[in-house]
A and B are shown apart, each in its own frame.
Chain A
Amino acid sequence: MSKIAIIGGGIIGVATAYELAKLGEEVILFEKNYFGSGSTFRCATGIRAQFTDEANIRLMKYAIERWERLEEELGAEIGFRHSGYLFLATSEEEVEAFKNNIKLQNSFGVPTRLIDMDEAKEIVPPLNTEPFLAGAWNPMDGKANPFKTLFAYLTKAKEMGVDAREHTEVVALEREGDKIIAVKFRSNGKVESVKVDALLNAANAWAPLINEMAGLSRELVPITAYKHQLVKTEPLKPGQVEPLVCPPSWNDSYLIQDGEDGGIICGSGIEHKAKSLDDYEPTYDFLRGVLKYAVQIIPAIRHAHIVRQWAGFYAKTPDKNPAIGRLLDNFYIAAGFSGHGFMMAPAVAQAMAEFMTKGKSKVPLDWEWYDPYRFERGELRSSAFQIG
């Protein structure tokens, strides 16, 4: 048994801590703020296999299979349900693109199909069908509660012996050759050090700072924090907008009904580069911008009240695919999820835990595709479709 440290108490760090504990490892987990405070607790709750490339489709198909069993495995309610994703096309060219994506998704066992607007209206009763020609519908996509999911993983991880420390900031790493040998951290103003056999950087938007502590360049895995904001309405009767609904050509604007309280979460591709890694301030122009699209998708939203607006980060890599893999002998990374960390977590955490301990994994994760050194080699992947 060895001691493995994880930096980052978001869903990726917490879920990987759990998976490592399951494999019998001793784990210490560091979160500089409260658990989930970075990106996880600000996400839009969506989970989908409707991607447009083989790597992400296969990974997410596996992740959804794990999502289905997670509540039972963790022994806690996480609110996962197959509520589907409905993408809407506004032009003939887009319908053709949908058909190609569907063919690719179907070839890996993802049951997406093209539907007409009558069927779309049955799935989302208040939908304005007029601007749309067809929909790409996968009823197996879904959503879950990010707060409950993170705490379900965390509670189980702690029960299995994970030493999970919040409000504990990693301040330095000690490196010998190509190995990280110790982690220095500060808690309650006191700096301490722990010897480690392996380390995972799961700090997402903050990951380049951790890489720098390991003596690597911040640019080796280039991750930029973009503010992604959400706006939420008062609760509406459940079942009105159960799936995530998105016309991609309308600036990737989307709506999804919160599985917990029934409020409608409205998002959009309108983005601001964050001024700093503490810059979470929502903006008024986003509020107006996102609602302009929302009322065109569901006109009745016009009469609902907005209850809250918040911002989080899309920790974006240049190709919007995460960096997952090994950086040094015993130093690993799973970061830069570009808005997909929550949905991918069950698969990525298992893959990473198996990879760190056995050097391979049974999860269909394409290590070459997500290789963290691809940016340095200038080998970008095709851009992951980024939404929800």
Chain B
Amino acid sequence: MSGKKIICRCNDVTVEGVERLIDSGITDIEEIKRLLRIGMGPCQGRTCIPIVISILARKTGKRQEDIPLPKSRVPIMPVRVEVLVGGADE
């Protein structure tokens, strides 16, 4: 099998996928997020976002600290609907 390096386990995104997108000219992390769905799975980007930022820094020559984190969304951890609406049918 190929030596694909998965960096996002929620959405099966690979290092190669991120590099290909950056090479095509898309270097805004908010755009990379939406096209590859990094940070949009249940883990909210805990694993993939730091890796994507390091790839982005390497490919664009920017400093990692100059690349803004994409917005995280509430809830930070997935919450069951019944917790929010109450137990029994209303």
Spell out A's residues near B (CB within 8 Å).
34-37, 41, 147-148, 151, 155, 158, 166-167, 233-234, 260-261, 282, 287-288, 291-292, 294-296, 299, 301-310
* CB interface residues, B 5-26, toward A, < 8 Å: 11, 24-26
Report the minimal beta-carbon distance from B86 to chain A, rounded to whole angstroms. 9
The answer to whether B65 has its CB under 8 Å from any CB of chain A is no
- A282 neighbours in B (Cβ, 8 Å): 73-74
Nearest residue (CB) in A for B88 is A302
In the complex the two chains form, is A306's CB within 8 Å of B30's CB? no
Report the minimal beta-carbon distance from B38 to chain A, rounded to whole angstroms. 12
Q: How far is the CA of A128 from the CA of B26 in the complex (A)?
A: 43
> Contact partner of B75 among A155, A167, A294, A306, CB < 8 A?
A306
Q: How far is the CA of A260 from the CA of B36 in the complex (A)?
A: 11
Q: How far is the CA of A168 from the CA of B85 in the complex (A)?
A: 43
In the complex the two chains form, is B73's CB within 8 Å of A305's CB? no
Q: How far is the CA of A305 from the CA of B42 in the complex (A)?
A: 9
Nearest residue (CB) in A for B31 is A34
In the complex the two chains form, is A261's CB within 8 Å of B85's CB? no
In the complex the two chains form, is B80's CB within 8 Å of A305's CB? yes
In the complex the two chains form, is A261's CB within 8 Å of B37's CB? yes
The answer to whether B82 has its CB under 8 Å from any CB of chain A is yes
The answer to whether B1 has its CB under 8 Å from any CB of chain A is no
Q: How far is the CA of A183 from the CA of B35 in the complex (A)?
A: 31
Q: How far is the CA of A233 from the CA of B75 in the complex (A)?
A: 11
Report the minimal beta-carbon distance from B31 to chain A, rounded to whole angstroms. 6
Tell me which of B31, B37, B81, B90 has the highest count of chain A C-beta atoms within 10 A of its own C-beta: B81
Q: How far is the CA of A309 from the CA of B81 in the complex (A)?
A: 13
The answer to whether B3 has its CB under 8 Å from any CB of chain A is no
In the complex the two chains form, is B78's CB within 8 Å of A302's CB? no
The answer to whether B89 has its CB under 8 Å from any CB of chain A is yes
Report the minimal beta-carbon distance from B54 to chain A, rounded to whole angstroms. 20
In the complex the two chains form, is B34's CB within 8 Å of A309's CB? no
Report the minimal beta-carbon distance from B2 to chain A, rounded to whole angstroms. 22
Jot down 18 A-B pairs with beta carbons below 8 A, ordered by A.
A34-B28, A36-B34, A147-B34, A148-B35, A151-B35, A158-B25, A167-B28, A261-B37, A282-B74, A295-B81, A302-B82, A302-B85, A303-B81, A305-B80, A306-B78, A307-B42, A308-B75, A309-B75
Nearest residue (CB) in A for B76 is A308
